[in-house]
Structure 1
């Protein structure tokens, strides 16, 4: 229930971090004005800040000096902008009639209070399903989420598919032009747990990126336990003093297994940093990010692009290429750069079947596969794989 006498004092940085984090998940356009709100609850345990738009809920708790407990709501993005500009002094917030007054040093703001009569009830975090190292959670999600689609008319492609099999997690995303797969381990509450969940990629990525990089405590993933895994239709994340829920996508993720080549007719390894720089330069003459051509020979990789009114660019890099005399293939440069940016080794391994078939990008393993009797190379055993559709070569 809303209080008419809310009053508290809080450290500026603590307030700024809390409201900025909650405000990031609030929608820019709302059908109901009340959904613009950050709800602030002041009680004996400090302050709780919450936001909810029927899809994503966020909640964070911080310590504060609570003078008068109660519950108020203000425009979330506005209070976030204000607090980020305040001097580094304690912030005092109180309710004065229908106005929320904010004081910090010589600064004073009056904000309209948003009535909470129509504010929806926040969902409850499902039971914790397991925990994961925070840095691993952030990195694995970042590696996969960039490959997810952004077309809402194909909702099954806008998510990250999470497969849970005991201690193993598998994250997969695809937009039909590229595909990313990441295998990792976590600590489930039960070794027998199995589940398939389709989580909105945008929200999952925001969750992962907002995890404190210095956090040492595990991140808890919450989708229920036993027979109730996924039953609430919610995916929850609890990290330190923050928790979020997001509604799972009600769609069938495509079977990607047939897309993953088991053997390759040729493989190449290239140092990633010089390759990224060369792609950046050569792609300056591509028209509408159309394509960048790659010609692999035994010891050289030649990148080229353009050839019409935009001009032509070409650059040669050292590489190690095995399996045939040469391979010419073309890719969308943005998709190629995305894949290279999430590979953690100094060198990337390319695996090719044909110039018209998808290629794979992998972190360089300790040992490359040897050529088999039939002249092919097996896919190296790796935790991460990025598959990329080629662009059709002209003529």
Structure 2
């Protein structure tokens, strides 16, 4: 095998695929070949790939191939080397059991791994539909923030992707919050329908990498060669396939109220900064209290008997009985960061009494969308205040 590539393109492709390699702490218990990056120069152009039986990542780039072939190189070392290469074309070739990388006056030789032992990469399932990469990346970012991070509850570490005709819905929850985004896309079939539970970390990483410019992303939901359920994403000469998460996602739609009789609104930017400030005095698990009145919102954290206390008042609009509610400040900041509106609305499902409303989830949305059902909703569970 021998090929010549542009340095920046090669470095970017190696760095992107290397993110799918098993973590350093996990490699001891996995097959050694899975720690390698596959360099495939057997067809038009060069393919750089990584696969750990759960996620497969492939990046294609232009290359001048003088001798076709494949090689399996130590993945992390190759990534570290390519980051430091000088600004010059890169030439790569195999020499016996070694892989030689030459760039400018720099030259490296790596011992290759047995490429014949590397597993076959799963093909992309048949394409289900298409969506603009930047739109998809933004939507996944809004939703994945609410996914769980506890691997002992794998169902909650996924993002549920629902397909119904030209409508795509993404949802994620960790039991304390729920994020839902609905958007339009272009299905291959007008009556397309399906559901997939995709690992949130993989989906977020993939969506970010495909979000540049006006790239169109192909989404494929189907089965792999062994009958395993797969989701695939392709665009910008990159392709990722991942196994789906097994299990039943919670019936989240039951948590979303039909209406919110109590609505409070505030400027998102000032509120986000105020939450950050008052949360500085709150212990790690302590809430930030929000007190809504007719024309302002007061934030408080800390306690009278504690080491520190903070409060801040902001202008707000609210029509209803005075209401006090407390939230996890980190979760509240995640919600505000995810909103793409200059203003935020807090919707409460009960107008009976303020005490009742404060115990029910709040629905955070952007203000003034003009939609009966906003395309992005972030449900946040309150923290009960003592006394």
TM-score higher than 0.5: yes
Cα deviation, 1:120-173, whole Å, max 9, x if unaligned, reads 111111001100111111111111111011112212111111111111111111
Residues 359 and 104 of structure 1, relative CA distance in 2, 3 Å threshold: same
- Kindly indicate whether the alpha-carbon contact (under 8 Å) linking 2:297 and 2:315 is maintained by their aligned counterparts in 1: yes
Quote the residue 2:354 is aligned against.
none
Change (3 A) 1:232 1:126: farther
Which residue of the other structure, out of 6, 9, 15, is the alignment partner of 1:14?
9
Q: Cα deviation per residue 1:197-234 (whole Å; 9 max; x = unaligned)?
A: 111111111111111421x2421001149xx9xx7500
Tell me how far apart the structure 2 counterparts of residues 85 and 392 of structure 1 sit (CA, whole Å): 52
Q: Are the equivalent residues in 2 in contact too, given 1:365–1:382 (CA < 8 A)? A: no
| C-alpha distance in structure 2 between counterparts of 1:197 and 1:129, whole Å | 12
1:321 corresponds to which of 315, 318, 322: 318
Q: What's the RMSD between the two structures over aligned residues?
A: 1.7
Runs of 4+ in 1 over 6 A off after TM superposition: none
Query: Any idea what SS the aligned residue of 2:266 has?
Result: strand
What corresponds to 1:347 in structure 2? 343
Q: Does 2:382 match 1:385?
A: no
Matches within 5 A, 1:283-362: 283-307=279-303, 308-324=305-321, 326-352=322-348, 353=350, 354-362=357-365
Change (3 A) 1:212 1:198: closer
Deviation per CA, 1:12-46: give whole Å up to 9, x if none: 00100100000011111221111011100113512
SS of the counterpart of 1:287?
Answer: coil
Aligned with residue 367 of structure 2, among 354, 364, 367: 364
Cα deviation 1:249-307 (Å, max 9, x = unaligned)? 12111111221122334210010000111111110111014210101111111111012
Q: 1:109 to 1:366 in 2, by over 3 A?
A: closer
**CA, structure 1 residues 165+254, in 2 after alignment: closer, same or farther (shift >3 Å)?**
same
**Mapping 1:60-139, distance limit 5 Å:** 60-139=59-138
Q: How does 1:103-252 map to 2 (within 5 A)?
A: 103-214=102-213, 216-224=214-222, 232-252=228-248
- Number of residue-to-residue matches in the alignment: 374
Query: C-alpha separation between the residues in 2 aligned to 1:165 and 1:44?
Result: 37
In 1, distance between residues paired with 2:78 and 2:37? 9
Structure 2: gaps (5+ residues): 351-356
TM-score (norm 2): 0.93
Asked if the contact 1:287–1:310 (Cα under 8 Å) also holds between the matched residues in 2, the reply is no
- Cα 1:240/1:367, change in 2 over 3 Å: closer
Gaps of 5+ in 1: 1-5, 369-379
Measured after TM superposition, the shift of residue 310 of structure 1 is: 3.6
Aligned to 1:373: none
Aligned to 1:276: 272
Alpha carbons 1:159, 1:199 under 8 Å: kept = yes
TM-score, normalization by structure 1: 0.91
